[in-house]
Chains A and B, each alone.
Chain A
Amino acid sequence: EAAVTQSPRNKVAVTGGKVTLSCNQTNNHNNMYWYRQDTGHGLRLIHYSYGAGSTEKGDIPDGYKASRPSQENFSLILELATPSQTSVYFCASGAWGEPNERLFFGHGTKLSVL
């Protein structure tokens, strides 16, 4: 089973502070994604990447930056955290054009901004 590791698992931040969420995958997948999930709802796409050095805006990019320094790592950065960014964040990786293609998700990071 493909492995996607997120850190930290839980984070409490103060309003106006900087938060960095990290994601590492050992699947050698080109595509990586950051989503947020609010209680009882689906996943909303924040940023995604086609490979090292690339980042693309998703559906809700405002207030977030992304960085893909290598094939394995994809970070989500909140420069000035706000309480509205309190959520669960999921990182995922995927390689398309392969049999049984799909997204593989990390365990999620629960972020609380006070």
Chain B
Amino acid sequence: QQKVQQSPESLIVPEGGMASLNCTSSDRNVDYFWWYRQHSGKSPKMLMSIFSNGEKEEGRFTVHLNKASLHTSLHIRDSQPSDSALYLCAARGNSNNRIFFGDGTQLVVKP
């Protein structure tokens, strides 16, 4: 069973629109979350990280974390066709440095 669950599985948004992606860890022993972006045929690249409760913004990207519920979300405003990719959420075990990933959300931004 996946320890990190992501939703939705796929998402289509119009160019200029807002994309919202969700991720929850079912393992309570985690201390760090990342969002990675993977374009087709490429390796994952880190987009944003968060380990404190609250919100973090970098350009068009905003990430939220609720540590009590182990839920994180990624919001992309003014979405561009180049944002079309697989978005992977990752969490780190706080006692063993294991990094486990969800199955991802496939985002398509339509011009």
| Residues in chain A near residue B2, CB distance under 8 A | 42
B53 within 8 A of A: no
Interface-centre pick from A31, A42, A43, A103 (highest chain B CB count, 10 A)? A42
- Dominant SS at the B interface? strand
B61 within 8 A of A: no
| Residues in chain A near residue B102, CB distance under 8 A | 42
| Residues in chain B near residue A90, CB distance under 8 A | 43-44
A103 touches B103 (CB 8 A): no
Chain A residues near B (Cβ < 8 Å) = 31, 33, 35, 40-45, 48, 50, 56, 58-59, 90, 92, 94, 96, 100-103, 105-108
A-B contact pairs, 6 of them (CB 8 A): A45-B99, A90-B43, A94-B97, A101-B32, A103-B36, A108-B43
Seed contacts A42-B6, A103-B34; 8 additional CB < 8 Å A-B pairs: A42-B4, A45-B101, A96-B92, A103-B46, A103-B90, A105-B43, A105-B45, A106-B43
